[in-house]
Structure 1
Amino acid sequence: MKALAVACALAGLINALPASAADTPISGNGETSMVIRKNYPTLPAPAGPYSVSVRHNGTLYLSGMTAFGTSAQGKDIAKQAEAIFEQVKRVTQAEGITMRDLIKVTIFVTSMDEVGALREVLSKHYDGAYPASSLVRVAGLFSPEVNIEVEAVFAIPG
């Protein structure tokens, strides 16, 4: 119950956050590159002070994504994974990339009992272009209704 109260409190911060943060130039060794931080109107708003994605030097980093705020919240890991990868695909569409550009995922689960079903979901969404991957069992995530969190890194072609 305490975790749910924290999640609800964090959700109260949603309206205080900008839809998209400003670009930030980074300088070093005489070169300047841009860091682009984004949130997406087609996704649940971040429940804290972070960006959904950060783009830098041809790489797109996605924050940990969960099924919180979707119809899969509170469901099994496979259903939550489906909801998460639908969100990831919305990001790839917005960024002009595909799941084939996925180079690394880190997946946090609260139970290893459903790993077989999770692997089926992953195989479907990876479409044969398997990324580097880590699967980590954790004691819990920010809400008891969240059983999986996925971080992703994409290569931006070009």
Structure 2
Amino acid sequence: MKALVVACLLAGTVSSLPVVAADSPNPRNGERSMLSRMNYPTLPEPAGPYSVSVRHNGTLYLSGITAFGTPAQGKDIATQAEAIFSQIQRVTQAEGIGMRNLIKVTVFVTSMDDIGSLRAVLSKHYEGSYPASSLIKVAGLFSPDVNIEIEAVFAVPL
């Protein structure tokens, strides 16, 4: 994972990518499916060649979101988690869905020392609709000012 992040950083900042939609056949049943890749003007631009989200049929996949480029960069894990959920909320608003549509989160942290405050932030933002979840401790993320990264998967009405 670290090598991929480093490769993305070495590639340089990608300018705002346009929404790309591709209508492609489903190889299993021949049906057409919609695939779209999005970046959002209300979020920091991706630091590499990736999209903030990819939508396929009824599922929205969010790339790992951090507090990098926000006022929470370099702050404690709870503050960074709040900044991340602020960004996720902007995505859900743009997509016309809410946190109740959250299916799965993967949370990467560099320290398990303050997990209690992280869980409080997560619980607040889940609004009682708890997703499937994984919590993974990593040696580091792409910047020493970032101590949490969250990936998310949402159900989206077709």
Give the number of aligned pairs. 151
2:20 alignment partner in structure 1: 22
Q: Which amino acid aligns with 2:9?
A: L
Give the direction of change, closer, same or farther, for the CA distance of 1:64–1:127 in structure 2 (3 Å limit): same
Q: Which amino acid aligns with 2:89?
A: K
1:84 alignment partner in structure 2: 84
Comparing 78-87 with 23-32, which one deviates more in the overlay?
23-32
Superposition TM-score, scaled by structure 1 size: 0.90
Give the direction of change, closer, same or farther, for the CA distance of 1:47–1:11 in structure 2 (3 Å limit): farther
Give the direction of change, closer, same or farther, for the CA distance of 1:134–1:61 in structure 2 (3 Å limit): same
Equivalent pairs: percent with the same residue?
A: 71
Tell me if structure 2 keeps the 8 A contact 1:20–1:51: no
User: For 2:11 and 2:153, how far apart are their aligned partners in 1?
Assistant: 28
Comparing 99-108 with 24-33, which one deviates more in the overlay?
24-33
Tell me if structure 2 keeps the 8 A contact 1:17–1:49: no
Tell me if structure 2 keeps the 8 A contact 1:20–1:40: no
- Ranges in structure 1 where 5+ consecutive residues have no aligned partner: 1-5
Counterpart secondary structure, 2:32: strand
Report the Cα offset of residue 21 of structure 1: 3.8
- 5 Å-filtered alignment, 1:24-103, equals 24-27=22-25, 28=27, 29-103=29-103
User: For 2:35 and 2:11, how far apart are their aligned partners in 1?
Assistant: 27
User: For 1:34 and 1:157, how far apart are their aligned partners in 2?
Assistant: 13
User: For 2:88 and 2:62, how far apart are their aligned partners in 1?
Assistant: 8
Superposition TM-score, scaled by structure 2 size: 0.90
2:139 alignment partner in structure 1: 139
User: For 1:56 and 1:76, how far apart are their aligned partners in 2?
Assistant: 34
Q: Which amino acid aligns with 1:23?
A: A
User: Once the two structures are superposed, what CA deviation does each residue of 1:2-60 show, in whole Å capped at 9, x if it has no partner?
Assistant: xxxx69x939833x434324112222232221110000000000000000000001000
Counterpart secondary structure, 1:23: strand
Q: Which amino acid aligns with 1:148?
A: I
